[in-house]
Structure 1
């Protein structure tokens, strides 16, 4: 029998306060408890969700952000029988207990055990509700809070139910894409909207998620995929991901929804809001066809933001729906999505803008904030 795991010291990028630069610190990561695994992170990346919550003044700090990553299981806690040391995994914020009604459903991925914890924006540990991270300064030890799967650390601890075991053939520095952004976009097109062959699609916001929506719509057989963004530098790459034409709202003197209605004889069949701005949800909704148009809200606006709609936009037969992780279940579906990267059915290179050492995470944040990066791979030494 292997000896029990011990706490381990490592580097992590700690958020000490809202809107502050992350600080590379030496922290201590506890051994995994019952039902948990500790993962050595090989590659992680930034998602706009991390930046959104970094800017929330009400959030408690210090905290370790991050939730897009790939790594290798370093140790396992008691009762974990489906993962072992050395397994290649993606830690995924969308847990899957496999026993509750949603987990057994074909149409619901909000696990009854993990969804309530996810809504607190922390990957809480039901065993004792304590973070597995701490830091010692001047002889004083204090806990560091977690966030989803807290992958801005060389090691992290998550529930085994929040790990997707993937093929060892999959490159970890590309597989991580399926732990959040790309999988969410693909699933929004496939699982939430159910984009049909020959249909018309509008994608508002051509960041990572928007491009993945376009990719998903392309694979589903959509005939027209219109990308909407105010940054024309994104248009060339968008066309590699399936976008057939691009619209820059700044080039028109009327609302973009009217532009799209004119381009599509009354509106598109499906619209996706991927920029995380409530005013664009309204534009997306009104850009769809009356009678059957579907709008999917994929982007995350600042918590507390309000959506104000003209009710007639819905009474005419349009619909609007939300999307969590593209409707995918982490353990069940993510391994197959990673295989799509390995088989080049999804081209990972389209989403990766740069590669930096983990210590340069603040540079990666600046690139993302300034619209100069999609996914920047942060590699651990």
Structure 2
């Protein structure tokens, strides 16, 4: 492309300080350095984790910053020594990179890359600098991606090529929300046919968990949310019933224990609140229930419970990006989407241009959206 080797001036949504609204700015995006790729973002989803970052609830955030981590785009140019990506490729940036060489990347039990965690400080690339500037100031990166911008720069280990025929729209959901929920059911919990599941939180991730539970053959899928407006879509995607904790004068875990005859086989917490984590744990069967924490909690949050609750056989697990090894799995998930094995469009409620990003976050806060896609 004729922009290769040049600084690109483009539009981006910048957060200048904690809890501030997004500001649409003209930024400069530097050329990619060795092992880096510059991407033209086409579509990017608004995820609850982005909102946590705005509110200062994540420890890996420095302001001013360009957020966003769920996107699809086209490679504009490469730095030196990029081996597997070329300009023109359709790609998905990866907030969970995969170097392929570290201990965890080589072990089938983990999808967390040690190299990615050790190589860089918060908000910068591996060389300790950023690729974004605005008004003469450096703008920090977010979880290897920063997709609320027309162009971004990522390391090669934090991007993967997808099918050239893949949609440059709702495919962005595979970059986070869909894959996180879907994989937590299939990979982390390993839901088995005929089982009973409870999903706490029916946002985009919780609904994707329901899709995963249904694909796995669960016999009973219980959606739990204080917003009954989510119940119809939850049932459309596979929930057999839904519970609103506000409808009962007893703890929702007790309600589930009573309605399931002792607890569910699998419980998923997709909210990020300590209270719902405990409710999910307590709603699982005492002898063999598995609880998976998917929601991101605030920094320094702690969870306290009697260890005896685990001694009888319960299991408590966590799941990041659904347990998928990103570079290996994302292309296959895209292919599965193209083959109609699941319908990403059912998770999309709104589409907005990038300059209406604050409206998109208002929809998130009001509970009126499942996933809003920003068309960049």
Q: TM-score range by the shorter chain?
A: over 0.9
* Matched residue, 1:333: 329
Report the CA distance between 1:242 and its aligned residue: 0.9
Report the CA distance between 1:338 and its aligned residue: 1.1
* Matched residue, 2:128: 129
SS at match of 2:238: coil
* Matched residue, 1:166: 162
8 Å Cα contact 1:67/1:151 also seen in 2: yes
Report the CA distance between 1:117 and its aligned residue: 6.0
Report the CA distance between 1:334 and its aligned residue: 0.3
* Matched residue, 1:351: 347
Q: Which moved more, 1:277-286 or 1:101-110?
A: 101-110
The answer to whether residue 265 in structure 2 is matched with residue 265 in structure 1 is no
The answer to whether residue 326 in structure 2 is matched with residue 365 in structure 1 is no
Residues 64-86 of structure 1, C-alpha deviations (whole Å, 9 max, x = no match): 00001100000001000200000
Residues 122-148 of structure 1, C-alpha deviations (whole Å, 9 max, x = no match): 3x321x211110012xxxx11001111
The answer to whether residue 6 in structure 2 is matched with residue 6 in structure 1 is yes
Report the CA distance between 1:3 and its aligned residue: 9.3
8 Å Cα contact 2:351/2:372 also seen in 1: yes
The answer to whether residue 20 in structure 2 is matched with residue 24 in structure 1 is no
8 Å Cα contact 1:187/1:327 also seen in 2: yes
| Cα distance in 2, alignment partners of residues 259 and 52 from structure 1 | 30
* Matched residue, 1:100: 102
Report the CA distance between 1:102 and its aligned residue: 1.3
Report the CA distance between 1:317 and its aligned residue: 1.4
| Cα distance in 1, alignment partners of residues 252 and 371 from structure 2 | 27
* Matched residue, 1:195: 191
| Cα distance in 2, alignment partners of residues 216 and 33 from structure 1 | 39
Query: How many residues align structurally?
Result: 373
Report the CA distance between 1:115 and its aligned residue: 3.1
Query: Structure 1 residues 254, 115: closer, same or farther in 2, change over 3 A?
Result: same
Q: TM-score w.r.t. structure 2 length? A: 0.96
SS at match of 1:16: coil
| Cα distance in 2, alignment partners of residues 7 and 319 from structure 1 | 51
| Cα distance in 1, alignment partners of residues 48 and 273 from structure 2 | 12
8 Å Cα contact 2:98/2:113 also seen in 1: yes
Residues 5-40 of structure 1, C-alpha deviations (whole Å, 9 max, x = no match): 111100000001111110000000010000000000
Moved over 4 A (4+): 1-4
Query: Structure 1 residues 319, 163: closer, same or farther in 2, change over 3 A?
Result: same
Report the CA distance between 1:2 and its aligned residue: 9.3
SS at match of 1:89: strand
Report matched runs for 1:15-164 at 5 Å.
Answer: 15-56=15-56, 59-116=61-118, 122=123, 124-126=124-126, 128-136=127-135, 141-148=136-143, 149-164=145-160
Unpaired runs of 5+ in structure 1?
A: none
8 Å Cα contact 2:253/2:280 also seen in 1: yes
Unpaired runs of 5+ in structure 2?
A: none
Residues 125-184 of structure 1, C-alpha deviations (whole Å, 9 max, x = no match): 21x211110012xxxx11001111100010000001111111121111011010001000
The answer to whether residue 241 in structure 2 is matched with residue 245 in structure 1 is yes
SS at match of 2:13: strand
Residues 192-245 of structure 1, C-alpha deviations (whole Å, 9 max, x = no match): 111111110000000000000110010000000000001001000001111110
| Cα distance in 2, alignment partners of residues 308 and 202 from structure 1 | 21
Report the CA distance between 1:278 and its aligned residue: 0.9
| Cα distance in 1, alignment partners of residues 3 and 18 from structure 2 | 40
Report the CA distance between 1:276 and its aligned residue: 1.0
What is the RMSD computed on CA atoms of the aligned residues?
Answer: 1.6
Report the CA distance between 1:310 and its aligned residue: 2.0
8 Å Cα contact 1:94/1:115 also seen in 2: no
